[in-house]
Amino acid sequence: MPIKADAVIIGGGVMGCAIAYNLAKEGLKPVVVEKSDIGGEASGSNGGGVRQSARNLKEMPLAMESIQIYGGLHEELGMDVEYVREGNLRLCTSDKELETMRQSVENQKTTGLQLEMLDRKQVLAINPYVGEKVIGASFCATDGHANPLLVTYAFFKKAKSLGAQFYTHEEAREIRLRKGKVTAVVTDKNTFETDLVVDAAGTAGRKVANMVGLDFPMRPLFSEAMITEPYPALFKQMIGHAKGLFYGRQTVHGPFFWGGFVGTEQFIYRQGKPSFHYIGPAISQLVLDFFPVLKDIHVIRMWSGLIAQMSDGLPVLGFAQEVPGFVFATAFSGHGFGLAPVIGRLISELIMDCTTSIPISDFCYGRFSRGSDQECSCQGNAACTTITAICPMKREWLKSI
Amino acid sequence: MAPVFIFAEQVRKILQSGEKEIEIPSGARISAAARELIKDHRLRIKTVPIETVTTAEKSAGKIEPPEPQPEEPKIIQDDAASNEAKVDPPAEAIDKISEAAIEDIVERVIARFNEIRGLKPTETTVETGAVLKKKSEHQADLDDLVICRCEEITRGEIKEAIRNGMRTLNGVKRITRAGMGLCQGQTCQRLVAQILSEELGISAAEVDPTTARGPVRPLRLEVFANS
């Protein structure tokens, strides 16, 4: 017996839950299909950074809006998500790094973001624990971090209480089309009749797009992280590295989270399996260089996650012109967690009103049609043409309730 | 003739005395526990006429001495409080024994049990509602039980996460932090798996184990960095 749904969201991570929450708030009854548990993939293994600095300038308006939403998220969702807004330090160790950082800061300031360059003395005033190597840093006071597990869970719980339905341990296998339009999603257990499908599947987003004959240049990127035993509170800032080699924070519970890249992640696969025995020590070495005070702390757990890395590092958002009823919200390239609340809101706006309060045309699916170096020529999400077939129906339905 | 009940306690007494044979009066009923004991210890059952039951058993006070029986089995009234005046239905009528009579026998057994244990009758002969209440109180106690000692996560918190839709140890761990502490779930993982199997109605073997993560035991950052 097929189940009727206003929208089917494939992927129960932080994006899927945030979209489900916003749609449920608008009065729809969305269904979320998740192949493992809620937040089982990247949403359950990321670093929890909520930052604007060092983002692609195209993402900046989204990030700035997201910070605003994060500020009131615990009240909106009725649950503490351990959000800390104490700034983000991106540490530099050489003059060259400092110069690149200075340039980057100037660029970011053009978008209206408040951030500054600090010398070593100023860095020590904010974080007295940095090592001798550090000669300066960029500092964005409105950045911060949150607990990704709790944010996902909070969105999930609130969405559920508003009428969204969650089907976990169910894998979407097929998206049925009729006359080119989405009509149903078939999982290994159920069939959901719907005219709207949201691809929020993260690393599996490309696979889901393939189900309707679409494709984009994305590949999973291996990333490693570790957590230490709890430690008395030392600092509250999010820590980053000028070249992005490592990043981390002290969580509200006390343990330190450290993640990082050694640069060879794309090439470590041997016979289909990653061989990563040297990444943990490499990250530890960096942490030790930058925070020598932590040399006696114990590492208690390491894990790896997959980043849905796009060729240009930007997500794919919005309607697919080719397939009416198919919406992208995937491939966030490793910095999606901080954007989750705003993406949830914008995708919901797109579905309900065919327009978004913040333009998302830079992230349209069609941007690769002429090669990655050229400006996008598709109409993208700025003018939604194909979804007129869906929107009036939704509006009618909304009026009827 | 009164039907005789053989209880586990009597069998135990015989076992203690070292005998390999149990005398059971004809028409006697053997309680399930007693039957199990007899089976376990391979006691030979010797059926004897009711008069020849050994004195040891009589002194145990378990078996009603045979009493002069009236012609018709007396249907015992529910409200009859005194056990003294009661007469059990004869063995021949055992198949036709009324429900009220069975209830009465059970009541007397419980009363006898209480007597031996020195309990007041009110403590166990509580109303069903009271029993349920006691049970739920017990359940509440269990919900306060700390399952993950490192992170101090209670059974109730774990159950809530499962009721909210978590189906795996990894899922429960992410939501509740059970298993995220210093021991990395070496203490609580089996307990959480048990709660999962109870809540989901599956066997513990069907619960997926958590993903194994290194290091095997806490490792100093300095040591790890130079490994």
A140 φ, ψ to 5°?
Answer: -115, 110
Distance CA B117, CA B122 (A): 13
Which of the 8 DSSP states describes residue A267? G
Residue in chain A closest to B226 (alpha carbons) equals A281
Which of A38, A295, A296 has the CB atom closest to B171's CB atom?
Answer: A38
Whole-angstrom Cα distance, residue B26 to residue B3?
9
Nearest CA distance, A344 vs chain B (angstrom): 21
Which of B150, B168, B189, B224 to probe the A interface (max A CBs under 10 A)? Answer: B224
- CB neighbourhood size of A317 (10 A): 26
Nearest Cβ partner for A301 among B184, B221, B227: B184
> CB contact, 8 Å: A160 with chain B?
yes
Q: Which residue of B has its CA nearest to A254?
A: B181
* Residues B6-33, mean pLDDT to the nearest whole number: 80
Chain B residues near any Cβ of chain A (below 8 Å): 164-168, 170-171, 174-175, 177, 180-182, 184, 211, 213-215, 218-222, 224-227
Residue A222 is predicted with a pLDDT of 86
Please name the residue of chain B whose CA is at the shortest distance from the CA of residue A157: B164
pLDDT surpassing 60 at residue B211:
yes
pLDDT at A391: 53
- Burial bucket for residue B181 (CB in 10 Å: 0-12, 13-18, 19+): buried
Closest Cα in chain A, distance from residue B133 (Å)? 30
Segment B5-17 mean pLDDT? 80
End-to-end alpha carbon distance in chain B:
86
- Are A281 and B224 inside 8 Å of each other by CB? yes
Determine the average pLDDT of the residues in B19-26.
80
ipTM attached to this prediction: 0.85
Min Cα separation B188/chain A (Å): 16
Q: Scanning every residue of chain B, which has its alpha carbon at the shortest distance from the alpha carbon of A168? A: B165
- d(Cα B63, Cα B55) in Å, to the nearest integer? 10
List of chain B residues whose C-beta atoms are within 8 Å of the C-beta of residue A302:
213-215
pTM of the predicted structure, to 2 decimals: 0.75
Cβ within 8 Å of B, A 165-204: 166, 168-169
pLDDT band at B220 (very low <50, low <70, confident <90, very high): very high
Dump the DSSP string for A162-230. TT-EEE-S--EEEEEEETTEEEEEEESS-EEE-S-EEE--GGGHHHHHHTTT---SEEEEEEEEEEE--
CA A303 to each of CA A257, A299, B215: distance values in angstroms, whole numbers, following the listed order: 11, 11, 10
What value does the mean pLDDT take over residues B160-176? 90
B227 or B184, which is more confident: B184
Interface contact A303, partner B, CB < 8 A: yes
Query: Tell me, what's the pLDDT at A125?
Result: 94
Interface test with B, best of A231, A279, A299, A302 (most B CBs within 10 A): A299
| A349 phi, psi to nearest 5 deg | -60, -40
User: Residue B142 above 70 pLDDT?
Assistant: yes
C-alpha B26: how far from its chain's center?
A: 30
Angle, helices B155-163/B189-200, rounded to nearest 10 degrees? 50
Residues in Cβ contact with A199 at an 8 Å cutoff, skipping those fewer than 6 apart: A10, A11, A205, A208, A209, A326, A327, A328, A329, A330
* Residue in this structure with the two tokens 């839709």, named with its chain if needed: B165
DSSP state of A317: E
More confident residue, A100 or B82: A100
Per CB-CB distance under 8 Å, the chain B contacts of A39 are 174
Distance from the Cα of B183 to chain A's closest Cα (Å) equals 8
Residue B80 confidence (pLDDT): 44
Q: Please list the pLDDT of chain A residue by residue as tens digits (401 residues).
A: 899 998 999 999 999 999 999 999 988 899 999 999 999 888 988 999 999 988 888 899 999 999 999 999 999 999 999 999 999 999 999 999 999 999 999 999 999 999 999 999 999 999 999 999 999 999 999 999 999 999 999 999 999 999 999 999 999 999 999 888 889 999 999 999 998 899 999 999 999 999 999 999 998 888 889 999 999 999 999 999 988 889 999 999 899 999 988 777 777 776 666 667 788 888 999 999 999 999 999 999 998 888 999 888 899 988 887 888 889 999 999 889 999 999 999 999 888 877 788 888 788 887 776 655 555 555 444 444 444 334 545 555 555 65
For residue B90, what pLDDT band results from cuts at 50, 70 and 90? low
Instruction: Verify whether the Cβ–Cβ distance B165 to A166 is below 8 Å.
Output: yes
Q: Kindly identify which residue of chain A lies nearest to residue B180, measuring between CA atoms.
A: A301
Tally C-beta pairs within 8 A across A and B. 88
Look at residue A22 in the predicted model and tell me its pLDDT: 95
| Residue B163 parent element (H or E) | helix B155-163
For testing contact with chain B, the best of A300, A304, A306 (most B CBs within 10 A): A300
How many angstroms away from the CA of B147 is the closest CA of chain A? 18
* Among candidates A253, A299, A303 on the partner chain, residue whose Cβ is nearest the Cβ of B218: A299
* Residue A278 tokens, joined: 């040297």
Contact residues, chain B, for A169 at CB < 8 Å: 167
pLDDT of residue B12: 82
CB contacts of B166 in chain A (<8 Å) are 37-38
Per the CB < 8 Å rule, is B218 touching A298? yes
Q: Do A37 and B171 touch (CB under 8 A)?
A: yes
